[in-house]
Amino acid sequence: MYFFCFNHTADIISTVEFNHSGELLATGDKGGRVVIFQQEQENKIQSHSRGEYNVYSTFQSHEPEFDYLKSLEIEEKINKIRWLPQKNAAQFLLSTNDKTIKLWKISERDKRPEGYNLKEEDGRYRDPTTVTTLRVPVFRPMDLMVEASPRRIFANAHTYHINSISINSDYETYLSADDLRINLWHLEITDRSFNIVDIKPANMEELTEVITAAEFHPNSCNTFVYSSSKGTIRLCDMRASALCDRHSKLFEEPEDPSNRSFFSEIISSISDVKFSHSGRYMMTRDYLSVKIWDLNMENRPVETYQVHEYLRSKLCSLYENDCIFDKFECCWNGSDSVVMTGSYNNFFRMFDRNTKRDITLEASRENNKPRTVLKPRKVCASGKRKKDEISVDSLDFNKKILHTAWHPKENIIAVATTNNLYIFQDKVN
C-alpha cells in the first residue's frame, strides 16, 4: 500500500537512480543537470514514515557541445547516472550524455578555516607589514555546503550514442555501451578504453541489429550482459577473450507464431536489462512485457508479465505516432520479490513474483495529495467499462513513465513522469 509523499518539478527527467544506501536519489534531465535528493535522517521518534527527500545538490553535469567535423550538436541530456559505492566521506557518481561520461565528486563542507594571518575574513589580503602577531587558523562551523566537482572526463570513445553505463563489482572498472560497441574503462584512466564488444558489420549495409542496454553482473566481475533491438540478450565472460564478440550465453525466446505481425521485431526490442540483486536472475523490458530470466536457462524466460497487453491491437497506431519506439526501464525491489516498470497515462505497474499479483498505480498531482494512499487503477481493454476504469482510447500517450527506481533496502520508490519526480513510500506500521 503506497502513499504519496513528495513531488518535484523539473526539466524533462531522463534518468533516476538511488545510491547504494538509498539515502541519496539522483535525477538527470534533458538540460544536462543533475539534481540529488537526500533522505532526512530519522531523529523523530513519532515518525510514522521514513525520512522525506529534500534537494541536496544541483549541478550542471553536461553542456551542449558542437562537433565541428560533423557539424552537429551533441545533446547535453543525461542518459544515465550510476553511483559508486561510498568509500569515504564524499559521494561519487558517473553521469553520461550521448558521447561523454563524467565522474563527479559530491562532498560536504560544514566547517571553514578562520583566523588567517595574511587574509581578512572577506578574503582581502592584508598588508604584511601590519601583522604584528601570529595566530593559528582554526576550523569553525558553517552552514552546510554541498559541492560537486568533476573528477574525470571520459570522452571521445563513442562514435554512436551511449545508452548504458555500468560499474563493475570490482569498483575499479566500468563499461559504457553505445548502439554498436561496448567499452571497458578504468575509473582512474580517461585517455584510454578497451573495446570489448563490437557488432558493427564490416559493411554497414548488413546492419540489422543494435545494442540497446548493457550491465555488469552484480557479483562476478568478469561477466556482463547486453541486449539487442532484436530481443536477444548475450552474456559475455571477459576471461574468455579480450574481445567479447562471441557470447557465452544467448538468451532468446522463440517468437509466438500466433502473435506474429509486421511489428514483431519492434516490440521485441529490449529497452532495459537489469540483474537481480542476487545475481541469479535478470529482467528485460520489451514494449509490452517484462521478462525474468534465470541465467542458467537460455531458451525462454522463467516469468513473463504483461505490462499493457491491451496495446497489442493498437500497434499500428503506436507505430504511426512513434510511441512503439518508447524505451521503458524496469527495476527490482531490494529483495528481488517485486519488479516495477512504467506505462502510459502516467501509470506504473508492479508485479509481485511470489504472489503473482500485480497492481497499476498512477503518478499525478491531481490524484495525489500528501499522505493519501494511492488507488489502484485499471484499464478496460474492450467491452463495457466499469466505474473507475479507464478505456484504452482515453489513455494519454504523451504521459509516459519511462524511468523508475526502487530504494535498495526500503519500500520507497521514485517515479519520473515527463516533468515531475514522485516519491512514494509504503506505510510503516
Contact present, 130 and 153 (Cβ < 8 Å): no
* Smallest separation, CB 271 to another protein (Å): 9
Instruction: Find the binder of another protein among 320, 337, 371, 428 (CB under 8 A).
Output: 320
C-alpha cell at 34: 543533475
Contact present, 152 and 103 (Cβ < 8 Å): yes
Q: At 100, is the secondary structure helix, strand, or coil?
A: coil
- Of the pair 42, 320, the CB lying nearest another protein is at 320
Instruction: Find the binder of another protein among 54, 58, 117, 317 (CB under 8 A).
Output: 317
- Of the pair 21, 248, the CB lying nearest another protein is at 248
* Smallest separation, CB 242 to another protein (Å): 6
Instruction: Find the binder of another protein among 43, 48, 69, 121 (CB under 8 A).
Output: 69
Give the burial string for 388-410 (b: 16+ CB within 10 Å, else e): eebebeebeeebbbbbbbbbbeb
- Under the binding rule (CB under 8 A), the answer on residue 393 touching another protein is yes
Instruction: Find the binder of another protein among 186, 200, 277, 280 (CB under 8 A).
Output: 200
Q: At 350, is the secondary structure helix, strand, or coil?
A: strand
Site for another protein in 235-274 (CB under 8 A): 242-243, 257-258, 260-263, 265-266, 269
- Under the binding rule (CB under 8 A), the answer on residue 337 touching another protein is no
Interacting span for another protein (CB under 8 A) from 81-89, 214-222, 289-297, 313-321: 313-321
Q: Of 125, 105, 107, 104, which is closest to residue 116 (Cα–Cα)?
A: 125
With vertex at residue 343, the alpha carbon angle to CA 340 and CA 348, rounded to the nearest 5 degrees, is: 45
Site for another protein in 90-119 (CB under 8 A): 99-100
List own/partner pairs for 345-349 with CB under 8 A and 24 or more apart: 345/390, 345/395, 345/396, 345/397, 345/399, 346/396, 346/399, 346/400, 346/401, 346/417, 347/377, 347/379, 347/401, 348/401, 348/404, 348/415, 349/305, 349/307, 349/308
For the chain, the 3-state helix, strand and coil shares in percent, each to the nearest 5, are 5, 45, 50
Number of other CB atoms surrounding residue 164 within 10 Å: 22
* Smallest separation, CB 197 to another protein (Å): 9
Interacting span for another protein (CB under 8 A) from 19-27, 146-154, 376-384, 411-419: 146-154
Do the strands 389-391 and 378-380 form a parallel or antiparallel pair, or are they unpaired? parallel
Instruction: Find the binder of another protein among 208, 219, 278, 337 (CB under 8 A).
Output: 208
Contact present, 419 and 426 (Cβ < 8 Å): no
- Under the binding rule (CB under 8 A), the answer on residue 158 touching another protein is yes
* Smallest separation, CB 359 to another protein (Å): 25
Instruction: Find the binder of another protein among 46, 205, 355, 369 (CB under 8 A).
Output: 205
How far apart (Å, rounded) are the C-alpha atoms in residues 223 and 6? 37
Instruction: Find the binder of another protein among 195, 335, 364, 367 (CB under 8 A).
Output: 195
Instruction: Find the binder of another protein among 144, 189, 250, 373 (CB under 8 A).
Output: 189
Q: Is the dihedral of CA 367, 368, 369, 372 positive or negative?
A: positive
Interacting span for another protein (CB under 8 A) from 122-130, 180-188, 272-280, 296-304: 180-188
Interacting span for another protein (CB under 8 A) from 17-25, 57-65, 122-130, 362-370: 57-65
- Under the binding rule (CB under 8 A), the answer on residue 154 touching another protein is yes
* Smallest separation, CB 309 to another protein (Å): 13
- Of the pair 355, 382, the CB lying nearest another protein is at 382
Instruction: Find the binder of another protein among 106, 180, 339, 374 (CB under 8 A).
Output: 180
- Under the binding rule (CB under 8 A), the answer on residue 151 touching another protein is yes
Interacting span for another protein (CB under 8 A) from 2-10, 125-133, 208-216, 421-429: 208-216
How many distinct helices (H) and strands (E) make up the chain? 2, 32
